[in-house]
Amino acid sequence: MTALAHEPLTHEEVLLEGFLALDTPEGFRAELIEGGIVVTPPPDGDHEDYIGLIVNQVIRRSRTDMQFSGNKGLKLKKGGNCPKDHLIPDGTFAPMKLRLYRGADPWMPSDGVAMVLEVTSTKPKADREAKRRCYARAAIPLYLLVDRDASSITLFSDPEHEDYRQHCTLPLGKPLALPEPFAFELDTADFL
């Protein structure tokens, strides 16, 4: 009896294998977004300030106790001919009772994530479009985008297939209502 020949790897499998083997410099983030590898440099202080302002409010004011991660990557559902997207949101919120961030693997499934947060930086188009589609495909209920170029904040909700069916965009400085499980108004006055 002869040994079975291994099936050749598909393009998507080779891309995913190569992506997972990347060794990026400290502070840089490598993500696999819709079949392309995107590397971004470390964020600036204003970027981190926005994240801190949001995290503080969510932890203090959310109706549901939330955990936050700014480092854990998400393995998102496959879409189209793309391999599984691997994104590292600026922030991920999940109910504390789920304790989703445990384990040594730097990549976790998105099941149970309540909201992802992105603050635009060097690649704002990716945050506005490609990442939005990836999060919708993964059925993440809420996507919060702080768009520094537009001085606005947008909450995307009701994911279906490739996009979110609803969104609310307000200028920075206006309060933004976050629905359950958060159930409070996010104050953006300090964002100005």
187 in any annotated domain: yes
Which pLDDT band, with edges at 50, 70 and 90, does 79 fall under? low
Q: What is the strand order of the sheet 29-33 is part of? A: 36-40, 29-33, 86-87, 73-75, 107-109
Domain limits for position 93:
43-71+88-191
Which pLDDT band, with edges at 50, 70 and 90, does 1 fall under? very low
The yes-or-no verdict on residue 42 having pLDDT over 80 is yes
The yes-or-no verdict on residue 87 having pLDDT over 90 is yes
13 in any annotated domain: no
- What is the domain-level CATH number for residue 115? 3.90.1570.10
Chain position carrying tokens 């409010």: 57
Alpha carbons within 13 A on the beta-carbon side of 42: 5
- Position 136 scores a pLDDT of 95
26 in any annotated domain: no
186 in any annotated domain: yes
Strand-pairing partners, residue 152, are 147, 171
64 in any annotated domain: yes
Which pLDDT band, with edges at 50, 70 and 90, does 112 fall under? very high
32 in any annotated domain: no
The pTM assigned to this predicted structure is: 0.91
- Position 5 scores a pLDDT of 59
Q: What is the DSSP string of the chain?
A: -PPPPPPPPPHHHHHHHHHHT--PPTT-EEEEETTEEEEEPPP-HHHHHHHHHHHHHHHHH-SS-EEEESS-EEEPPP-TTSPPPEE--SEEEEEGGG-TT-SS-SEEE-TT--EEEEE--S-HHIIIIIHHHHHHHTT-SEEEEEETTTTEEEEEEEEETTEEEEEEEEETTS-EEE-TTT-EEEP-GGG-
147 in any annotated domain: yes
Reported as a single tens digit per residue, the pLDDT across 125-174 is: 999 999 999 999 999 999 999 999 999 999 999 999 899 999 999 999 99
* Mean pLDDT, range 165-189, rounded to an integer: 98
Which pLDDT band, with edges at 50, 70 and 90, does 83 fall under? low
- Position 14 scores a pLDDT of 87
Number of structural domains found in the chain: 1
